[in-house]
Amino acid sequence: MPNVMQQLFIMNIESLLREYAAYRTFNKSDCVINMRIPRPVLDKIKQLAEQQHVPYQSLISSVLFSLANVEEK
């Protein structure tokens, strides 16, 4: 059985974004986080988000949402 990180990579980005959008329909984001990550990682995330035509913060939020809910699937 794949670990949590492998499961996230298996899911495609569109699916992650769809699930997060459905969640956001009924749940408001009310917390802010501040984190440091290496520039190349952020650049890659921005590139992936641009390919999907979504803000990079939404892409990050969708991945975090999936991580937090992986056991429910």
How many separate domains does the chain show?
1
Range of the domain at 66: 4-72
Provide the pLDDT for residue 73.
52
Q: Where are the alpha helices (DSSP H) in the chain?
A: 4-10, 13-26, 39-52, 56-68
pLDDT value at residue 49: 87
Q: Are 27 and 33 in contact (CB under 8 A)?
A: no
Amino acid identity of residue 33, one-letter, is: I
- HSE (CB half, 13 Å, CA atoms) of 10? 9
The pTM score is 0.71
pLDDT in tens for each of the 73 residues of the chain? 556 766 666 567 788 888 888 888 888 888 999 999 999 999 999 988 888 888 999 989 988 888 888 766 5
Describe the crossing of helices 56-68 and 13-26 by its angle, rounded to 10 degrees.
80
